[in-house]
């Protein structure tokens, strides 16, 4: 039974060796191990805080990016609407200018046509006058070709003229 129950001396020496090893480990190994564990725990805590800060910064950056993206979209829409308005204004201005030019061309053409018409009428009048004179001259030459008809015409004109 001695194997099952240890003796008091053995228990005493085991307890004494355990206490000596315990104090040696506590003084030499326990403090550095605990310091290393505390340092590691502090490092892990700092890393968690840094990760949390990074997460918050990422959320802030994402929010800023969304805001900037929204502003860029609004600016793009504003620029597109201004460009469309400018294009419409230019188109309307071009239409108005084209209308003015067309009206001026039409009025100039009317004036030119009117001037040419007057010139043609004047030329026709001149030709008619010249032809009339030629015809009258030929008729007079034929009628007044002899002396007797000339005297009769002079007498007729003298009768028509009233003496004052």
Query: For residue range 90-112, what is the model confidence (pLDDT) as tens digits?
Result: 999 999 999 999 999 999 999 99
Burial class (CB in 10 A: 0-12, 13-18, 19+), 58: exposed
Number of domains in the chain: 1
Q: Is residue 10 part of a domain?
A: no
Check pLDDT > 70 for residue 2. Answer: no
Residue 134 near residue 140 (C-beta atoms within 8 A):
no
Please identify which residue in the block is written with the tokens 């008809």: 149
Q: Is residue 61 part of a domain?
A: yes
Q: Is residue 2 part of a domain?
A: no
Q: ∠ CA(3), CA(5), CA(10), 5° rounding?
A: 90
Asked which of 68-77, 81-90, 124-133, 135-144 is least confident by mean pLDDT, the reply is 135-144
Q: What is the residue range of 31's domain?
A: 20-145
Q: Is residue 136 part of a domain?
A: yes
Please identify which residue in the block is written with the tokens 């600016």: 75
Residue 144 near residue 153 (C-beta atoms within 8 A):
yes
Q: Is residue 108 part of a domain?
A: yes
- 144 Cβ contact list (under 8 Å, min separation 6): 150, 153
Q: Is residue 15 part of a domain?
A: no
pTM above 0.75, yes or no: no
Burial class (CB in 10 A: 0-12, 13-18, 19+), 27: exposed
- 149 Cβ contact list (under 8 Å, min separation 6): 143
Q: Is residue 82 part of a domain?
A: yes
Q: Is residue 152 part of a domain?
A: no
According to DSSP, residue 30 is labeled I
- Hey, what's the torsion of the CAs at 104, 105, 108, 109, to 10 degrees? -150
Tens-digit pLDDT profile for residues 36-74: 899 999 999 999 999 999 999 999 999 999 999 999 999
């Amino acid at each position: 039974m001695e194997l099952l129950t240890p003796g008091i001396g053995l228990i005493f020496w085991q307890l004494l060796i355990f206490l000596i090893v315990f104090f040696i480990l506590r003084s030499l190994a326990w403090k550095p191990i605990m310091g290393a564990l505390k340092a590691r725990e502090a490092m892990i805590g700092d890393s968690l805080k840094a990760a949390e800060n990074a997460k918050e910064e990422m959320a802030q950056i994402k929010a800023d990016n969304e805001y900037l993206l929204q502003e860029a979209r609004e600016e793009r829409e504003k620029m597109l609407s201004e460009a469309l308005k400018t294009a419409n204004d230019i188109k309307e201005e071009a239409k108005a200018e084209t209308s003015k030019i067309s009206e001026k061309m039409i009025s100039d053409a009317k004036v030119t046509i009117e001037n040419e018409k007057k010139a043609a009428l004047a030329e026709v009048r001149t030709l008619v006058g010249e032809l009339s004179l030629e015809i009258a001259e030929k008729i007079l030459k034929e009628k007044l070709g002899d002396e007797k008809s000339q005297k009769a015409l002079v007498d007729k004109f003298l009768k028509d003229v009233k003496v004052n």
